[in-house]
Amino acid sequence: MRKIASWGFNVYVNLLFSELKLHDTQAGIKLIKRKKAQALFNYFENQQGIHGFIFDIYLLVLARKLNLKIIQAPCI
């Protein structure tokens, strides 16, 4: 059941944010260079209510808008 829910959520997110083109927006590890992370997190200063699973999606959408490179790697 969890795999089906996860798959459905990822399909939904990719329909809403087609520019992401990612298989798993909720992967636990995100590596970001310091300067690029500062640029991303400057956007978060004035945002309220951005937490939980939506934080990951918002972070990835902003990264795409800032033309930051996003690489997916499997967790083993």
pLDDT tens per residue, range 39-71: 888 877 666 667 677 778 888 888 888 888 887
User: Does any domain span residue 56?
Assistant: yes
Which is more confidently placed, 44 or 5? Answer: 5
User: Does any domain span residue 74?
Assistant: no
User: Does any domain span residue 14?
Assistant: yes
User: Does any domain span residue 75?
Assistant: no
User: Does any domain span residue 7?
Assistant: yes
User: Does any domain span residue 72?
Assistant: no
The total number of structural domains that make up the chain? 1
Can you give the residue range of the structural domain that contains 42?
A: 2-65
CA distance 61 to 75: 21
What per-residue confidence (pLDDT) applies to 7?
80
Structure tokens at 58: 């918002």
Percent of the chain with pLDDT over 90: 0
What per-residue confidence (pLDDT) applies to 68?
83
CA distance 35 to 49: 24
Nearest to 21 by CA among 61, 53, 49, 55: 61
Compute the mean pLDDT over every residue in the chain, rounded to the nearest whole number. Answer: 78
